[in-house]
Amino acid sequence: MYQEFFGLKENPFSLTPDPQYFYLSDSHLTAVESLLFGIQRKMGFMVVTGDIGTGKTTLCRVLLERLVGEKIKTALLFNPCLSEEELWATILKDFGLPCQNLSRKEMIDSLYEFLLLLHSRGENAVLIIDEAQNLSIPLLEQIRLLSNLETAKEKILQIILFGQSEFNEKLNAPDLRQLHQRLALRLQLYPLSYKEMENYIYQRLIIAGGRGNIYFSKSAFREIFRFSKGVPRLINLLCDRALLAAFVAQTNHIDRAIVQKGERSLLGKERPNRIWARRPYTLWIIFVCLLGGLIMGSALLPQWKSLVNLAMEKVGYRTILGASQ
């Protein structure tokens, strides 16, 4: 809606995990470089955790893009709410292997043969599982068994689990101590700092086609940071509403008041306009006027009835009012 007004080619604060908009904060840069190193060194199990909205899914997409052309086959699972058989079938299917009408043992053998073939050609394989906090204990145990697919010298399948911060607690459970001991890397994504948030917002505006004609005041940045706590998804949500509020106001200067208006819109707490803001007083005035009219009308009713009777007698009619007396 506001793209044309601000001269943007697309929405700069969309919630879709677009790698083009990926911002390399300190923790995100560390995660990318560490994962690429772990894949190259064939370290096996790696885990990335972070709070909701810190960019885990976008990091998955970025990692997949970085691995293109690197003699690496990848499989990506976005929905880990599967049965054990469905898990194996999904992994095979994403690696491009047939999986129909196969027993679990046949699927495991097929995957192992595929991984050995890649290894013989000097290639690597990476399995990425997003939303890993939703994996049940039995499924995590099945994933641990994947690490047994190895040669005498190195891992032939690299497994990266992305999950919310509470996933760390699940990994530390006694039932998963064998998996816990096999984790080669454990990385954490953090919210953006105040300065990172400023750079993040301007980077997205530039990528979306902004020409430096949208200005955020310092008070606007402080309000965005107060609301979002540096979480990228919340930053996107609030900035999108702030730009919409600025468009309605026909201004390209985003100040604290504009941000707060966007915040109220986001939270469903928009202030009513002035007419409706005065509605209680308006209703009270109408009530007083009606009450006064009724009082005055009741006081004048006898005189009004007499005048009506007199007029109708002059024209020769027996009045209804007179008959009722």
Q: Do 59 and 246 contact (CB within 8 A), yes or no?
A: no
Tell me phi and psi for residue 20, to 5 degrees: -60, -30
Q: pLDDT tens across 228-268, in order?
A: 999 999 999 999 999 999 999 999 999 999 999 999 999 88
Q: pLDDT tens across 21-55, in order?
A: 999 999 999 999 999 999 999 999 999 999 999 99
* Three-class SS state of 316: coil
Q: In which order are the strands placed within the sheet that holds 72-77?
A: 72-77, 124-129, 158-164, 45-50, 183-189
Maximum CA extent, the chain: 124
Q: What is the pTM of this model?
A: 0.80
DSSP 89-134: HHHHHHTT---TT--HHHHHHHHHHHHHHHHHTT-EEEEEESSGGG
Residue 133 has pLDDT above 60, yes or no: yes
- H helices, E strands: number in the chain: 15, 7
**CA torsion through residues 193, 198, 203, 205, sign:** positive
* pLDDT band at 271; cut points 50, 70, 90: low
pLDDT in the model for residue 122:
93
Domains and CATH numbers, the chain: 24-189 (3.40.50.300), 193-291 (1.10.8.60)
